[in-house]
A and B are shown apart, each in its own frame.
Chain A
Amino acid sequence: MSTPSAQLETTATTADTETDRQLATGAEIFIRSLEAEGVEYVFGHPGGAIISIYDEMHRIKPSFQHILVRHEQGGTHAAEGYAKATGKVGTVLVTSGPGATNTVTGIADAYMDSIPMVVFTGQVPTHLIGNDAFQECDTIGVTRSITKHSFLVRDVRELAATVKKAYHIASTGRPGPVVVDLPKDVLAARAPFHYPETTSIRGYSVVGKGNQEQVRKAAQMIAEAHRPLFYVGGGTIISGGSQKLTELARRTKIPVTTTLHGLGAFPETDPLSVGMLGMHGTYFANMAVQNTDLLIAVGARFDDRVTGKIEAWAPHARIIHIDIDPACISKNVPVDCPILGDVAQVLDQLDPLIEPAEHDEWLAQIDVWKRECPMDFRRDGKLRPQEVIRALRDHTRGEAVVVTDVGQNQMWGAQFYSYVHPRSHITSGGLGTMGFSLPAAMGAALGLRGQNRDVISINGDGGVMMNIQELGVAAAHGLPLKIVILNNGYLGMVRQWQELFHQERYSHTHLEPTNPDFVRLAEAFGCVGLRCTDPADIQDTIEAAWAVTDRPVVMEFRVVTEEKVFPMVPAGAATDNMITAQFSPEDCA
């Protein structure tokens, strides 16, 4: 009697260990899922809640590369930079509690700028959730209003399918960040690994083509217009519609203005380009907007930095709005002809319905505005930031990927580089996050590795300090980043507002007393440091920087403190109410 039962027991045990061997832990399933998703880089930082994932990574040697960032915020911006430069989804892995809260700024940034990113956060074991356990944070709650969607994985059997859904949601439609919260016990539990090939989500569908009737109406409006203008935003680049847009604009002779995120969607070297519009847009772009009779908004969202005083904006224009996000349509400005759809596909639909046209009078008027107030700067022997940007453009023939930070440096970077390729300009537009550029440039450089593209990071002396720790990471990976610091000794953009609108009360914007020696700082992180204080040396500095190919170079330019960003539409003013530069034309070459 005892023998069969003993036998039974043994078989049971062997069967158990066998299935155990076939079953994978949540940590392994996680890694296998990222591999199956084709992830190239994981920007991560370990901690207790996700230590099992790091342990599995050590054992498995996964097909993706893990980049150990030095602050989780840096990790999120690196993932954003990677995503913006490549069009692929950025991946971040952090621990629970402080690891998760450190990603909040980057998640909010990605949400505002429609950047595809999946952030995996550790979480305390499910039975401790809600108990204020060590390093617990309600990550889903904290990130709810800054994510496209979020998941808390409660069962290891749902892990792989959830990863699949997360990447699908992040990358389709209007892209955005997705948070996946991973409790520690789920990572330890076992399940068979199966990565689904496809996923379908009940309440989520992605629009493609636009309504043909609306497209026809738009074509009719374009045919009737005398002073049409394309207003092109980042959605055009995301959808891969830049090429089509460029062809269409050239064929129909319709001038093009772009938003900050639209830079590169249409070559700024083309005579039809009027450059960037909005608060720090060109005089001629803003004048064109105020006088156009048909504004064709393509993947743009009528942001307040673009429209200024909204009632006064584009007062004569009928508006066509092509966008993939229904919530963007008529959010800020009601439009005459909304077309919901993927920009590239809608442009394809529109193309055959539009006849080539001439708008000579309109283009001549734009030329007058271009001559009235060109984009230029004073050349008086002092080191001006605009001259640095122009020199960088000339040196790279406009072919580099430029990642700017936030502030004056961002606006000069936008105004003076002349972007000709989509995805060649990366910045934090919606949230305006200081400290974005350095880690984002690092992510971009990793994403573009082996493609022989220069990546330039443009910073102010304020913002660069906000994620300076990532300099060591860029150095460790031998990334030949060209890091520019336009050191004006101030929180320059705030200083500009204080000068113009607060009677020169420079309250707490002076940085010189707390600024480090940037050259020595660069060297301490294993980078090359260069300093330039004279416009005569700009060229030599740039050449010296480009001679370095095995590590990052930091170029500090000591620029004129008083330099301001012009034109400028004061906040809340009508966009034709611009403050323009106050230098006389004789000063300009």
Chain B
Amino acid sequence: MKATSTTETQTGAPTVPAPGFTPQQLFRKQAAGEALSPNGEDNVHRHVLTVLIDNTIGALNRVANLFSQRGFNLESVTVGEAKDPAHRRLTLVTTGNDRIIAQVLRQLSGLIDTIEVDDLTDEDHVERELCLVKVRCAAADRAALLAIVEVFRANVVNITPDSLTFEVTGPTAKVNAFIGVMKDYDLREVARSGRVAMRRRLAFEH
């Protein structure tokens, strides 16, 4: 069977669907968040998820394993005890098109150890990341550097004769900007916590 041609023709747009697709096929591509034209962009986005899991042996392994097993991206993970010490809350950052993200959510919910899975990306939420930055800095240059980090409200957490260590907390963009500026100096070491995130309104009972 030959497939019928495209539903609609758009003029001069790079998004003109590749010819040869039936309306059904176009629907499926769209639903999958896939590019409609051969060289169009896949609608890949970054998503921030929080996951509440049982605090049992192996639970964290299963979550992490899921990402490699299913070929999902995992940009960062943070874990810590939740309100109830029997649980742990994870904040995960992952990327993918809509279909893949839907899959990530379903697969995560499918794990026996997961209690709640929540995609915060399009919800009103707060996000924070903590970052430690160590810069080589002679005593004579300290004052200049301290003036700059002041702008980012970074704290000095350690001073040695030839180095300064800062702590900066904030949304990821701020942390990125801070590290960017520090690259102009003798940046030696970066340690980032990865994001933690939470809805602004009451969402979870846990």
Contact = CB atoms under 8 A, between A and B. Distances in A.
B28 interface: yes
A452 interface: no
A316 B21 CA distance: 10
Given A144-B65, A315-B3, A326-B106, A149 B112 contact: yes
Interface string B37-71: 00000000000000001100110011001000100
A203 B21 CA distance: 41
A145 B111 CA distance: 11
Contact of A334 (B3, B28, B54, B61): B28
A149 B106 CA distance: 16
Interface in B121-158: none
Contacts of A123: none
B100 to A, nearest CB: 10
Interface in A119-157: 140-141, 144-145, 148-150, 152, 154
Contacts of A202: 54, 115
A315 B112 contact: no
A333 B114 CA distance: 26
Contacts of A148: 112
- Main secondary structure, interface of B, reads helix
A315 B25 contact: yes
Contacts of A329: 106
A317 B113 contact: no
A312 B65 contact: no
B1 interface: yes
Sort chain A's interface into a size bin: 20 to 34
B24 A317 contact: yes
Contacts of A331: 103
Interface in A314-332: 314-318, 325-327, 329-331
A331 B109 CA distance: 14
Given A144-B65, A203-B114, A576-B1, A326 B109 contact: yes
B125 to A, nearest CB: 22
A479 interface: no
B33 to A, nearest CB: 9
Contact of B25 (A169, A291, A311, A327): A311
A330 B107 CA distance: 12
A290 interface: yes
Chain B interface: which size bin?
Answer: 20 to 34
A501 interface: no
B180 interface: no
Contacts of B29: 311
A336 interface: yes
Contacts of B115: 202-203
Given A169-B112, A202-B115, A327-B107, A315 B54 contact: no
B27 interface: yes
Contacts of A169: 112
Interface string A421-452: 00000000000000000000000000000000
Contact of B32 (A314, A316, A325, A334): A334
B7 interface: no
B1 A201 contact: no
Most-contacted residue by chain B among A140, A325, A329, A330 (CB, 10 A)? A330
B36 to A, nearest CB: 12
Interface in A332-361: 333-334, 336
A315 B1 contact: yes
A204 B113 CA distance: 8
A181 B1 CA distance: 53
B199 interface: no
A327 B110 contact: yes
Nearest to B117: A203
Given A145-B65, A150-B58, A201 B22 contact: no
Give the interface centre of B1, B112, B114 by most chain A CB atoms within 10 Å.
B112
Contacts of A145: 65, 69
Contacts of A154: 57
Given A201-B112, A290-B1, A144 B25 contact: no
B163 to A, nearest CB: 38
Contacts of A333: 28
Given A145-B65, A148-B112, A325-B110, A330 B99 contact: yes
Interface string A26-66: 00000000000000000000000000000000000000000
A325 B103 CA distance: 12
Contacts of A336: 27
B25 A318 contact: no
Interface of B: 1, 3, 21-22, 24-25, 27-29, 31-32, 53-54, 57-58, 61-62, 65, 69, 99, 102-103, 106-107, 109-115
7 contacts: A152-B58, A201-B112, A202-B54, A203-B111, A203-B114, A315-B3, A334-B99
Q: Which 5 A-B pairs have the closest CB atoms?
A: A334-B31, A145-B69, A327-B106, A315-B22, A149-B112
Interface of A: 140-141, 144-145, 148-150, 152, 154, 169, 201-204, 290-291, 311-312, 314-318, 325-327, 329-331, 333-334, 336, 576
Given A326-B106, A334-B31, 11 more contacts: A141-B61, A144-B62, A203-B54, A291-B1, A311-B21, A311-B25, A312-B3, A315-B24, A326-B110, A327-B106, A331-B103
